[in-house]
Structure 1
Amino acid sequence: MPDHVLTCERLVKRFGGITATDDVTLRLERGARHALIGPNGAGKTTLVNLLTGVLEPTSGRIALEGEDISKLAPHKRVHRGLVRTFQINQLFPSMTPLQTLALVIAQQRRQGARFWQPLGRDEEVVMRASQLLEQFRLAEVKDVPTEHLAYGKRRLLEIAIALACEPRVLLLDEPVAGVPAGEREDILQTVAALPADVSVLLIEHDMDLVFSFARRMTVLVNGAVLTEGTPDEIAADPRVREVYLGHGEEAHA
């Protein structure tokens, strides 16, 4: 039986009379490169908010490494290794990538109060921040305030922040959304080079990224799972072509 690091079983979320997540079961294998796709309004964001604890399910169960986390607070899920990328343009706009990553790393190591010592006092924190800056192609802008970064660089910093939290499971939420074409290549290469021991669930509309990255895919429609399979199986499924890939996208062979 596959080793599943994150699972949700028969997950339901209702808002009044509207069922946003309808009996969803999803199993993420250890080391997964798994994509969650579906048209607008399919329920992808609601599902991710349930997995991360932003929303509480109406019914169903979520487990991380076999432990039920259905009622666990979001920050406690992060500390247990379930991390989602988030919009850093709403956070620390005057801080640089180096300062931001050093703060996240210090907090992850329960050293939050010590961060406000002069930067460089904790060599391990600065060394890890420098590694991430290199890995995410941010070294040349490490001292530029985040608010002045190109949008593609901000998205790279989002992913670097998530990786600084030492995730076992990374929910990669539309990493190229809104990124100009000229800035996308760094993100595509960075996503492809994510550590193999981190299980990744990618939520994305960009089919080029989805099909180049994913080894398994789940298609969500109207809050429910339409189908799941390999990229080849998904591309060949006429139902998927009809409800998603056929909407302005060419199905990949």
Structure 2
Amino acid sequence: MTAVLETRHLNKTFGGLKATSDVSFKLERGARHALIGPNGAGKTTFINLLTGLIKPSSGDILLDGKPITGLKRESRVQRGLVRTFQINQLFGQLSVVESLALVIAERRGHGWNMFRGLSRLKGLDREIADLVSDFGLDTVAEDRCCDLPYGKQRLLEIAMAIALKPRVLLMDEPAAGVPEADRQEVLSRLAALPSDVSILLIEHDMDLVFTFASRISVLVSGALFAEGTSQEIAHDPRVKDVYLGGGHHD
């Protein structure tokens, strides 16, 4: 296996606080990898470093073996590094179809002018239709984002991320806040994501983590504490003591 995303000795300091401490991490191509850790472990800081939201104090980030440490967020997205957020980042007044059309048009370089030439974007209707179907959005395709049930909002955000054609998808708690009645649909759609997209999942829900991920990294106090297969992490007594609470997933 080869790493599609890698960090080497990544550090981030805020004043006297070391939020990320010498993290060397690899996301293998096609992986289903989870990043877990207690509150305050530095998971969000790490993802913000990967996506360019904040700059590291030292260390390197590589995508497909090429350094991206100094690139802006937009450039990282263009190179295939895409993120979903814990809190939805949707266009509230646009419909599902319009939101997907906007993302696809932006990816193709048409930007906000896409509504004036929507009919000229070859293949757009088919691509939108496929995304709507793949993510179970058929019944709400013409509804405004702000009117969608929360579970559908989460699915739309993931669909919009996939519309960007990512090679690497960073997912920040995709099931957070989703009602139990809608949760299974979100989980099944996650399981069906394209196999050629390498996924790093941040999640507190251990049932989701151990169902979805084949490999897990544990972050504690900004440093990598443990890493291994889901079974190795589930049976690691150090991880149970620090995070899992002991006795679960035996």
TM-score (norm 2): 0.96
**C-alpha distance in 2, partners of 1:74/1:158?**
18
Contact kept? 1:89, 1:146, Cα under 8 Å:
no
Offset from partner CA, 1:7-58 (integer Å, 9 cap, x none): 0011100000000001111100000000000011100000000000001000
**1:251 paired to 2:248:** yes
Give the 3 Å change call, closer, same or farther, for CA 178–29 of structure 1 in structure 2.
same
**C-alpha distance in 1, partners of 2:176/2:49?**
21
**C-alpha distance in 2, partners of 1:133/1:43?**
34
Offset from partner CA, 1:122-173 (integer Å, 9 cap, x none): 3411211111011011111011100010011111111001100100000011
SS class of match (2:142): coil
TM-superposed CA distance for 1:91, in Å, is 3.6
Q: Which residue in 1 is equivalent to 2:155?
A: 156
TM-superposed CA distance for 1:113, in Å, is 4.7
**C-alpha distance in 1, partners of 2:88/2:45?**
22
Q: Which residue in 2 is equivalent to 1:29?
A: 28
Structure 1 residue runs without a partner (length 5+):
none
Contact kept? 1:12, 1:23, Cα under 8 Å:
yes
Show the 5 A alignment for 1:98-137.
98-117=97-116, 119-137=118-136
Give the 3 Å change call, closer, same or farther, for CA 136–88 of structure 1 in structure 2.
farther
**C-alpha distance in 2, partners of 1:243/1:197?**
33
Q: Which residue in 1 is equivalent to 2:169?
A: 170
Structure 2: which amino acid aligns with 1:59?
S
**1:193 paired to 2:185:** no
Contact kept? 1:42, 1:223, Cα under 8 Å:
yes
Give the 3 Å change call, closer, same or farther, for CA 87–94 of structure 1 in structure 2.
farther
Q: Which residue in 2 is equivalent to 1:52?
A: 51
SS class of match (2:123): helix
Contact kept? 2:34, 2:200, Cα under 8 Å:
yes
TM-superposed CA distance for 1:112, in Å, is 1.9
**C-alpha distance in 2, partners of 1:13/1:88?**
23
TM-superposed CA distance for 1:119, in Å, is 4.8
Q: Which residue in 2 is equivalent to 1:4?
A: 3
Structure 2: which amino acid aligns with 1:138?
L
SS class of match (1:170): strand
**C-alpha distance in 2, partners of 1:12/1:110?**
34
Structure 1: which amino acid aligns with 2:138?
A
Structure 2: which amino acid aligns with 1:226?
F
SS class of match (1:227): strand
TM-superposed CA distance for 1:88, in Å, is 7.2
Give the 3 Å change call, closer, same or farther, for CA 251–178 of structure 1 in structure 2.
same
Q: Which residue in 2 is equivalent to 1:242?
A: 241
Offset from partner CA, 1:194-217 (integer Å, 9 cap, x none): 101000001111111110111110
Q: Which residue in 2 is equivalent to 1:183?
A: 182
Contact kept? 2:86, 2:174, Cα under 8 Å:
no
Q: How many residues align?
A: 250
Q: What RMSD, in angstroms, separates the aligned Cα atoms of the two structures?
A: 1.4
Worse overlay, 110-119 or 100-109:
110-119
Structure 2: which amino acid aligns with 1:155?
R
Query: Percent identity, aligned pairs only?
Result: 56
**C-alpha distance in 2, partners of 1:17/1:164?**
40
SS class of match (1:117): helix
TM-score (norm 1): 0.95
Structure 1: which amino acid aligns with 2:177?
G
Contact kept? 2:96, 2:143, Cα under 8 Å:
yes
